[in-house]
Structure 1
Amino acid sequence: MATEKIALVTGAARGLGYAIATALQASGVRVILADVSPTVNTAAETLGAAGAVQMDVAQYPAVETALTSINEQYGAPDILVNNAGLTTNIARTDRMKPAAWEQELAINLNGPFYLTRLVLPSMKEKGWGRIINISSTAATGGLNRQPGYAASKAGLLGLTRTVALEFAPYGITCNAVLPGLIQTEKVAELPHDILEAAIEHIPAARTGKPEEVAALVTFLASPIAGYINGVAIPIDGGASLSQVSLNRSSPSRTPQAG
């Protein structure tokens, strides 16, 4: 991949986002890490990334300011990875507070829309662009006691397909990656019995690695993936084949997908 390509990865201070940034950089891309946490600066220094920006993707003015700064300092992004997300609100639909619902949609759906809207003009002008949205298997299978998360990730699929349809003529692709149970810090905190019960329903009989998701994202961001557009690719060890989700776990302790 040409070294001139610039990638912006959100939610990149740690976990899956950091793994994606690492893989993209290894492929020859100049990577800019973005996160709401100030630790994103340390993460960028550790990685040796091109740069870092602290921003809250749920706030359009903040996103607009950050993109303006990125464009001036590094150049307009050729690759956008919408990875930032919130998964902390656990409640059945009839008990979920409207504020919690709105918070999840603001981060998981509004944020990707804001960023996509702002990077599209420069991608269109260049005649090339890659947008990869990190959704979840919850988008297609639902997720017990997490209606806001599942709904926002499903909405992200609609945005993905619409952008793909609208901007394919300009050399821009937009695809979604749907992680299943991945070895993140949150998954590591799950009670052993809950984790083991979830793994029993995965044909691969294990959790996924962040590096595996990152490899898929890096491929979709590459020039060779230009004929792949508007698709949602599950990366879940085959769990979706049997239509088994994490919803069979204890309703009071539901592990997080994606």
Structure 2
Amino acid sequence: MSSWDNLLEGKVALVTGASRGIGRADALALAKAGADVVVTDILLESDEKSEAEAERFGPMAQVMQSTNVMYANKTEKQITDMGRRSMAIKMDVTNKEQVENVVQRVIDQFGKIDILINNAGTLDHVSQLGYQNDEFWERDLRVNLTGAFHCTKAVWPYMKAQKRGSIINMSSVAGTLGGFGQASYATTKGGLLSFTKSMALEGARYNINVNAIVPGIIDTEAFNLGNPEMNERMINRTAFKRPGKPEDIANAITFLVSDKANYITGVELNVSGGIELFTF
């Protein structure tokens, strides 16, 4: 048994965008550390309308749906097989009413929410400014930034009432460094950092910790759909000269939402392999 096995014993976590990639790794890591975990995503294997949902959200969602890269229900089963409580719920973070209903359902069935991981995001709008798609710009704002706002606002009253809570916002090095051809993505991820600090200030009086993770190049399904030559260039910018794993992000999150990090709030933690360093 590792020292992490019971780190989150008795806690209830809600993870958005948890059907694959970093979100799925987060959900599994939190469960391994002892938490009960609610897995949410717009794409569930059991949802007969997943094709229509994917079409609403653009190319990346469509590719994941059409190639069956959807593991929300599988993740739920893996978590329950660990002896933890879990459920997979379809949730669109851009839909305020739906988010509020899901949070209420979690409160009703699990009794509380201790941890929120705002992981849901889009990463398929890559064009220089003159070719940025206006509709995708608005979509990215709704999903990446307003989605985190909706989820945070929905859990906030419950965390305030119980006088404890941990929230993680998933930013990106594009939000700290900028990203060529990533105006919408970088803007939303940078906005999440300011949102994190503001919520950390508001949450401190209620013992709510709010922090941001700043991933670098992570070896996910989405990353592997990218241009191989461009991917290699980005990997070579890291100090380690290799991509990170989703578990690297999940391990950092597990620490930040645990009682071992109860005096840490408002930080933006780079889990990036040193891509922000001056490497040559």
TM-score (norm 2): 0.83
Is residue 2:254 matched to residue 1:218? yes
Task: Please name the residue that 2:10 is paired with.
Answer: 4
Match of 2:37 among 9, 31, 34: 31
| Amino acid in the other structure paired with 2:266 | G
Number of matched pairs: 244
Match of 2:96 among 60, 63, 79: 60
The gaps in structure 2 that reach 5 residues or longer are 1-6, 46-71
| Amino acid in the other structure paired with 2:235 | I
Alignment of structure 1 residues 86-105 onto 2, 5 Å: 86-105=122-141
- Local SS of the residue matching 2:277: helix
Residue 2 of structure 1 and its aligned partner are, at CA, apart by 4.8
| Amino acid in the other structure paired with 1:192 | P
Task: Please name the residue that 2:75 is paired with.
Answer: 43
- Local SS of the residue matching 2:217: coil
| Amino acid in the other structure paired with 1:236 | S
Residue 97 of structure 1 and its aligned partner are, at CA, apart by 2.4
Q: Distance in 2 between matches of 1:187 and 1:100?
A: 19
TM-score (norm 1): 0.90
Q: Distance in 2 between matches of 1:86 and 1:196?
A: 21
Task: Please name the residue that 1:236 is paired with.
Answer: 272
Is residue 2:145 matched to residue 1:109? yes
- Local SS of the residue matching 1:181: coil
Is residue 2:124 matched to residue 1:118? no
Q: Distance in 1 between matches of 2:162 and 2:172?
A: 30
Q: Is the 8 A contact 1:44 1:50 kept in 2?
A: yes
The gaps in structure 1 that reach 5 residues or longer are 245-258
Residue 186 of structure 1 and its aligned partner are, at CA, apart by 1.9
Residue 198 of structure 1 and its aligned partner are, at CA, apart by 2.0
Residue 76 of structure 1 and its aligned partner are, at CA, apart by 2.4
Residue 194 of structure 1 and its aligned partner are, at CA, apart by 2.6
Q: Is the 8 A contact 1:85 1:108 kept in 2?
A: yes
Residue 94 of structure 1 and its aligned partner are, at CA, apart by 2.6
* 1:128–1:243 Cα change, 3 Å: farther
Task: Please name the residue that 2:170 is paired with.
Answer: 134
| Amino acid in the other structure paired with 2:28 | T
Residue 215 of structure 1 and its aligned partner are, at CA, apart by 0.2
Residue 116 of structure 1 and its aligned partner are, at CA, apart by 0.4
Identity of aligned residues (%): 39
Q: Is the 8 A contact 1:141 1:243 kept in 2?
A: no
Q: Is the 8 A contact 2:218 2:246 kept in 1?
A: yes
| Amino acid in the other structure paired with 2:76 | A
- Local SS of the residue matching 1:4: coil
Aligned-residue CA RMSD (Å): 1.5
Q: Distance in 2 between matches of 1:218 and 1:61?
A: 29
